[in-house]
Amino acid sequence: MTDAPLLSIKGASKRFGAIAALEDVSLEVGAGEFFALLGPSGCGKTTLMRLVAGFETLDAGRIEIGGADMSGAPPHRRPVNLMFQSYALFPHLSVFENIAFGLRRQGKGRAEIAARVAELLQIVRLEGVETRRPDLLSGGQRQRVALARALAPGPRLLLLDEPLGALDRQLREETQFQIKEIQRRLKTSFVVVTHDQDEALVMADRIAVMRAGRIEQIGAPTEVYERPATRFVAGFIGQMNFLEGHIENGAFVGPFGRLPVEGGGLSQGAKAVLAVRPERIAIAPATQENAGLDGVVEDVAFRGETTHFRLRLSGGGTLRVSRGANSGAPFCVGDAARISIAPEAGRIFASE
């Protein structure tokens, strides 16, 4: 990624009647960057993608691509291509002709088209299927044909609308790495629109988490996961425990006890919420001589590489705890347990 942004969005706002789809959204995407717009349905991420593509017009703000103002520029005049969730392949055309479609519209010669299609087939690992129709391909193969077709004209920016939504879980996980590898190889800027946090965390260099037409946080995957800026981000990405309490002498105090965690800048006596991820909570038998909170195991779920516990705390409330499947002492439902939370493990937010 270079220092100069390829895509610059400044103060973008869009309304549909009484509904504010976007409100004063600003962000930048660098050349060669893989960027994700992540959020729940109705957060504005698809509207933002359509504005960049030129399918909608701004009510306020500005969109620049490569330093050029895109105001009034129709979709076909923008250095952008879009890969739809449905792939939108032409069922009557072969794989070769599907990929070549955009090149023919550009007026490329036969030899140049053949070379470009062959290059893309090699990149997406689909050599040997150029004569097949889409209905003879697997879901993963169709997805890669759609990606190759979108990349064929050489867009500076590729928009991907929920690109893996039609794939089963195992294939989706494999394809995440394939798309990232292709993006790195071509050095094309990708912007993926998704509600799937795993897609964003695995593929993106940076993530913009959106809610109700606004951006809650922009950061690298590790940043938005480990240091969420808002309670919404903390709850939307990954699993999270939320514990109600207040700040007292630099510690978080809840109905279950006192935890010496960082106060998040809140004043003495302020109502607060402690957010802590299940994997950041240590669990041990209650018989051990260690400080912590006592509870009882209410449920145990084995999920292959991890084991998940739900604990009922003796002071009230429940916690979810997870750890490696083969680490630590085993627990069964009804066992007494003691949990501990390191001061740096949680995030403090003001109560809403």
With a cut of 60, say whether residue 2 has pLDDT above it. Answer: no
With a cut of 90, say whether residue 143 has pLDDT above it. Answer: no
Over residues 185-220, the pLDDT tens digits come to: 999 999 999 999 999 999 999 999 999 999 999 999
Mean per-residue pLDDT, 1-13: 86
Minimum mean pLDDT range among 89-98, 146-155, 339-348: 339-348
| CA 133 to mean position of chain CA atoms | 32
- Enumerate the β-bridge partners of residue 12: 25
Non-local CB neighbours of 19 within 8 Å, separated by 6+ positions: none
pLDDT of 1:
47
**CATH domain 240-350 topology:** OB fold (Dihydrolipoamide Acetyltransferase, E2P) (2.40.50)
Q: Which two tokens stand for residue 339?
A: 């949990």
- According to DSSP H, which parts of the chain are helical? 45-53, 95-105, 110-123, 139-151, 169-186, 197-203, 221-226, 231-236
Which candidate, 27, 7, 63, 72, places its Cα nearest to that of 209? Answer: 27
3-state SS string for 9-69: EEEEEEEECCEEEEEEEEEEEECCCEEEEECCCCCCHHHHHHHHHCCCCCCEEEEEECCEE
| H-run or E-run covering 282 | strand 281-285
pTM reported for the whole predicted model: 0.90
Over residues 71-119, the pLDDT tens digits come to: 989 999 999 999 987 778 999 999 999 999 999 999 999 999 999 999 9
Q: Which two tokens stand for residue 276?
A: 């802590």
User: So what's the architecture of 7-235 in CATH?
Assistant: 3-Layer(aba) Sandwich (3.40)
Read off φ and ψ for residue 53, nearest 5 degrees: -75, -20
Q: Quick check: 82 and 151 in contact, CB under 8 A?
A: no
Q: Which two tokens stand for residue 10?
A: 């400044």
Q: Is 168 left (phi over 0), alpha (psi -120 to 50) or beta?
A: beta
7-235 matches 240-350 in fold? no
Domain chopping of the chain, boundaries: 7-235, 240-350
Say whether 73 sits in a helix, a strand or coil. coil
Say whether 287 sits in a helix, a strand or coil. coil
19-30 vs 68-69, strand pairing mode:
unpaired
Non-local CB neighbours of 158 within 8 Å, separated by 6+ positions: 80, 81, 82, 83, 150, 151, 188, 189, 190, 191
Q: Quick check: 234 and 224 in contact, CB under 8 A?
A: no
With a cut of 80, say whether residue 33 has pLDDT above it. Answer: yes
